[in-house]
Chain A
Amino acid sequence: MSPEDTAGRLRDAIAAAAILAVDPSGLGGICLRGPAGVLRDLWLESLRCALPPGGRVRRVPAHASEGRLLGELDLEATLAAGRPVIASGLLAAADGALLVLAGAERLDRRTAAHYGRVLDERRVPPVRGEAGPTDEVHLGLVALDESEGDDDPPAAGLRDRLALHLDLEGLRATRLDPGPSADAVIAARTRLDRTSVPDALLEELTRAALLLGIDSARAPLQAVRVTRIAAALNGRAEAIAEDAALAARLVLAPRATRVPAEDAAPPPAEPPPDRTDVPPEEAEPGADSLDANADLVLEAARAAIPRALLDALTAGGAPRAARAAAGRSGAEVRGALRGRPAGVRAGAPDGRRRLSLLDTLRAAAPWQRLRRAIPGRAAAPRILVRRDDLRVRTYQSRTETTTIFVVDASGSAAMHRLAEAKGAVELVLADCYVRRDRVALVAFRRTTAELLLAPTRSLVRAKKSLAQLAGGGGTPLAAGLDAAARLAAQILRRGGTPTVVVLSDGRANVALDGSPGRGRAEDDARAAAQRLRLAGAAVLFVDTSPRPAAAARELADTMRARYLPLPHADARVLSRAATSLNGR
């Protein structure tokens, strides 16, 4: 990265802080990606400096319970007082504040959905069914995303609602230049209503979003808002292309799902659809004013597409955002409220555990006489219940199984095996409707392994990935096994149950570092097999070579896999074997 690049990105980061400070709730907030460190702290500090007096910044941990966020019945106080006492939630109390959400990528879907809803409706849902309308809550969210590499980013539904996306990864700085002052922010706030965005710029931002392959209609709208704020911060009554370019860098570029061609001419003028319903004052802008800004905005967006995203996009792979769009719908969603009842235990109820009233009363019953003996308690409610008496119901839910297919797509195996592997994946996937399991697909060929299909139960996505799977080249078995081990470990960390199905002839000929040669490659493969065993997943090794060999058997033993020589495999046998591995 050139120094100018770095300087430019830092300038944008400072601008983003000021823009957010002007209208936190209008923008929803910012998704701030990057490791915890000096730069992130500096950025948060500059945000604090930009906030007018009275503006608050509050940190919220990602694991804050639902009850704490939204408010809940305070059971202890209710019991003590003999009348309902509702503890108000953190979100309602945070009206007008910026919430800094640490570890946003670890936020479970359920909580993310609550945040999204509060941002959308600007009110906190009532704690109890029919309670009256609650006060408006204006919030801005600073979602700190510390995910790296293959980690899942924060839930897509939440990211989509946060206008600004800023990536600090790879940036270094020990100080940030001061941005606009709090006074400038106040001035911008008062000017904002009178600041306009010319129609041509609005059109240009929308066009850029379209060319960058951004589907959400929120993105261009948010870009227009950012443009307006940028103009207001600069004291302009009407936004200019420079403001829109900044918005394109902060809002559109990070959401890109494709890179527009270098010389993307404006699309041929399409005949405007029947627009008779458009009020007259919203007339078409002059065509020439459009051209003047055309390239600036799109160019700004293109140049600002984050490096890693750009690489992924140009390599034709699915971008990180889209690939992991499923977020974490896995084991965590299955809270303790699901599944088979598994008894009752002591503990206070919360958003995820329901009080078992009968058992609570049963626990309290033997003590009533003693408790009433305490002076002043004779007139208390009929039953004296204390915190220790509380019992909650627990449920046991099966953890979700993810079957990871590791497919040898090398020249030796490709021709006669690839089609079967594809068939098996589709068959297992079809079962997933019923069992709610997921599949993932790792393919290895030439010099590396590639995660073709992140864990999913979507047939649509699976078929897309499978269609892209091509064969040919060497056999980097070690790389494939390592990729599977990494993915398995990831799934285990999240409470899922991974099973690995390796389809290969076991004849490695590319070492881990990509160099050819049978000796090194086989050593590496053995080491990788050991690592896979340590990952703790159940493994099925399907020997796909026409004549099953002892080497493959040995390898299977090393990873403590079930060994299944399958010279004439068909998709159905494979699917059955994979399913039996799960013990079902």
Chain B
Amino acid sequence: MRAQYPFSAIVGQDALRSALLATAVDPAIGGVLAFGERGTGKSTAVRALAALLPPMTVVDGCRYHCDPAEAGAYCDECAAAYARRKPRTRSVPVPVVDLPLGATEDRVVGALDLERALTQGVKAFEPGLLARAHRGYLYVDEVNLLEDHLVDLLIDVAASGENLVEREGLSIRHPARFVLIGSGNPEEGELRPQLLDRFGLSVEVRTPRDLATRVEVVRRRDAFDRDPATFVRRWQEEEAKIRRQILAARRRLPGVRVPEPMLERAAALCLSLGTDGLRGELALVRAARAAASLVGAKSVTEAHLREVAAAALGHRLRRDPLDESGSLVRIERAVAEAWGP
């Protein structure tokens, strides 16, 4: 097992880090889309975050990592096996599953287990990547180049938390709740607006433009590559600090209130930006609540909304061929109009 680059040692990339932290606190926010250049450490950040999260408890032997604490959400197998007795448990690291660009639908959704069908004559289900990503992260690099129907499928499953398989004579359902992280370079192709809208947050990841930061990126990465163990040890304390922050935020989250005026403000902003549907508003409010929870606030304030507005709404703006300004600028403008400077 190769050592993992520490999350706290990532230089810059504040937007991506906050977005990832928010989803770690509340996975219901619904996925992060990281658009940006190659080699900016998007994948490193996701892996680092997952490595930092405390291991999760799963039902021993369950192929879908069922959570023993949530008997209501068991997969069919666990539900049948543990109707009366308590399951044995074990802890496993939070999974980060890579969805390679060339993945086939069979691989993603799961399919008939050919091996067992041919050799034993048994009709068995071979779980796909969705099953493996349950309760963890599903990372899709170059999501903009992925076949549309696969992206559709991913987002549907991510939203419903359940994978339904109806194929090859199989009829299976199993839980698949994961945080979908997509990354890509918009210059190489774009996601359809319908798909964009389904991601909870989006951030633009850029290589830092100033020399000092870039030097720091290279210096730290080089130090890590040369001696991972020492490097990881040096950042241990910082990592623990972030872990405590996430855990505390998770505990506090259900108690964080969203006052009525804040809901109204969120609605007003979405209205003035012309984002269709309620997804934008929902993501905005949820992300603001996660942000509030991360800093220990009891209720969401306008500052929290401002903090997450760009990430929650940036990718939902209708594209206007005549408006050259980036989505960030347009959101800032709309925020200033709706809520005052």
- State whether A206 and B214 are in contact (beta carbons under 8 Å apart), knowing that A66-B102, A117-B98 are contacts in the complex: yes
List CB contacts (< 8 Å) of A127-168 with chain B. Answer: 128-130, 133, 136, 156-157, 160
By a CB distance below 8 angstroms, the chain B residues around A114 are: 100, 102
By a CB distance below 8 angstroms, the chain B residues around A102 are: none
List CB contacts (< 8 Å) of A450-508 with chain B. Answer: 456-461, 463
A51 to B244 CA separation, bound complex (whole angstroms) = 49
B239 within 8 A of A: no
A282 within 8 A of B: yes
List CB contacts (< 8 Å) of B205-230 with chain A. Answer: 206-207, 209-219, 221-223, 225-226
- Say how far B104's CB is from chain A's closest CB, in angstroms: 5
A4 within 8 A of B: no
- State whether A325 and B40 are in contact (beta carbons under 8 Å apart), knowing that A129-B128, A206-B218, A210-B211 are contacts in the complex: no
A278 within 8 A of B: yes
By a CB distance below 8 angstroms, the chain B residues around A133 are: 1
Complex: chain A residue closest to B2, CB-CB: A122
A218 to B38 CA separation, bound complex (whole angstroms) = 9
Q: Is the CB of A433 within 8 A of B192?
A: yes
Q: Is the CB of B218 within 8 A of A458?
A: no
Binds A, one of B15-23, B152-160, B182-190, B256-264: B182-190
Q: Is the CB of B119 within 8 A of A83?
A: yes
Q: Is the CB of A130 within 8 A of B132?
A: yes
A64 to B121 CA separation, bound complex (whole angstroms) = 32
B321 within 8 A of A: yes
Binds B, one of A93-101, A305-313, A381-389, A557-565: A381-389
By a CB distance below 8 angstroms, the chain B residues around A329 are: 145, 188-189
- Say how far A362's CB is from chain B's closest CB, in angstroms: 14
B79 within 8 A of A: no
By a CB distance below 8 angstroms, the chain B residues around A209 are: 214
Complex: chain A residue closest to B105, CB-CB: A337
A343 within 8 A of B: no
Binds A, one of B25-33, B110-118, B273-281: B110-118
Q: Is the CB of A458 within 8 A of B216?
A: no
Q: Is the CB of B188 within 8 A of A326?
A: yes
- State whether A279 and B188 are in contact (beta carbons under 8 Å apart), knowing that A216-B39, A357-B114 are contacts in the complex: no
By a CB distance below 8 angstroms, the chain A residues around B190 are: 433, 457-460
- Say how far A178's CB is from chain B's closest CB, in angstroms: 30
- Say how far A528's CB is from chain B's closest CB, in angstroms: 31
Q: Which of A129, A275, A457 touches B189 (beta carbons < 8 Å)?
A: A457
A365 within 8 A of B: no
Question: Which of A221, A426, A430, A457 gathers the greatest number of chain B CB atoms within 10 Å?
Answer: A221
- Say how far A113's CB is from chain B's closest CB, in angstroms: 4
- Say how far B16's CB is from chain A's closest CB, in angstroms: 13
Q: Is the CB of A357 within 8 A of B117?
A: yes
Q: Is the CB of A458 within 8 A of B189?
A: yes
Complex: chain B residue closest to A128, CB-CB: B126
Complex: chain B residue closest to A355, CB-CB: B114
Q: Which of B118, B186, B214 touches A210 (beta carbons < 8 Å)?
A: B214
- State whether A113 and B63 are in contact (beta carbons under 8 Å apart), knowing that A199-B219, A215-B207 are contacts in the complex: no
A302 within 8 A of B: no
Q: Is the CB of A272 within 8 A of B212?
A: yes
Complex: chain A residue closest to B41, CB-CB: A217
Q: Which of B1, B63, B206, B214 touches A130 (beta carbons < 8 Å)?
A: B63
- State whether A458 and B115 are in contact (beta carbons under 8 Å apart), knowing that A215-B39, A337-B105, A434-B192 are contacts in the complex: no
By a CB distance below 8 angstroms, the chain A residues around B71 are: none
- State whether A221 and B212 are in contact (beta carbons under 8 Å apart), knowing that A113-B101, A215-B207 are contacts in the complex: no
Q: Is the CB of B114 within 8 A of A73?
A: yes
B106 within 8 A of A: yes
Q: Which of A78, A136, A267, A351 touches B211 (beta carbons < 8 Å)?
A: A267
By a CB distance below 8 angstroms, the chain B residues around A121 are: 2
Complex: chain B residue closest to A193, CB-CB: B226
A59 within 8 A of B: no
- Say how far A547's CB is from chain B's closest CB, in angstroms: 31
A202 within 8 A of B: yes
Mask: chain B, 116-145; 1 = CB below 8 Å from A; 0 = not: 011101000011110110000000011001
B37 within 8 A of A: yes
Q: Which of A113, A136, A383, A436 touches B148 (beta carbons < 8 Å)?
A: A436
Q: Is the CB of A357 within 8 A of B40?
A: no
A152 to B248 CA separation, bound complex (whole angstroms) = 51
Q: Is the CB of B102 within 8 A of A110?
A: yes
A327 to B184 CA separation, bound complex (whole angstroms) = 14
B168 within 8 A of A: yes
Complex: chain B residue closest to A113, CB-CB: B101
In addition to A129-B127, A458-B188, 16 A-B residue pairs with Cβ atoms within 8 Å of each other are A202-B222, A206-B214, A215-B40, A215-B206, A216-B207, A217-B207, A221-B218, A273-B212, A282-B223, A334-B147, A337-B106, A338-B147, A357-B168, A381-B119, A433-B193, A434-B192
Closest 7 CB pairs of A and B: A110-B102, A216-B39, A218-B39, A215-B37, A113-B101, A84-B115, A206-B215
Which A residues fall within an 8 A CB radius of B? 26, 66, 73, 75, 78-79, 82-84, 109-111, 113-114, 117, 120-122, 125, 128-130, 133, 136, 156-157, 160, 193, 197, 199, 202-203, 205-207, 209-210, 215-221, 224-225, 267, 270, 272-273, 275, 277-279, 282, 322, 325-327, 329, 333-335, 337-338, 351-352, 354-355, 357-358, 381-383, 385, 426, 430, 433-434, 436, 456-461, 463
20 A-B residue pairings within 8 Å (CB atoms) = A82-B119, A84-B115, A113-B100, A117-B100, A125-B98, A157-B141, A206-B217, A215-B39, A217-B218, A221-B222, A267-B211, A272-B212, A325-B187, A333-B101, A333-B145, A333-B147, A354-B106, A357-B118, A459-B190, A461-B187
